Amino acid sequence: MNAYQPQQRINELQQLRHRLLSRREQRGAATATIDMELNVVRSELQALYALQRDQKPANQRIPVTHGLKMA
């Protein structure tokens, strides 16, 4: 993972994800192998998104709320 260019890596991984999803829909595709690759891509994307969230200044972060708040 290239920590200096996270947005570029995110774009690459998103393109790879789309290619894998397209391959998965083809007849005779090795879905188990593709699913494993998709899991790796998904994990790396989640890590990069978390890294970006952590790097935002506190005043630009969207607060995470768990559950619904009742008025």
Does residue 3 register a pLDDT over 70? no
pLDDT of residue 55: 82
SS3 content of the chain, % helix, strand, coil (to 5): 70, 0, 30
For the stretch 4-27, pLDDT in tens is 688 999 999 999 999 999 999 999
For the stretch 31-67, pLDDT in tens is 999 999 999 999 999 999 998 888 877 666 566 666 6
φ, ψ (nearest 5 deg) of residue 41? -60, -45
Q: CA Rg, the chain, in Å?
A: 16
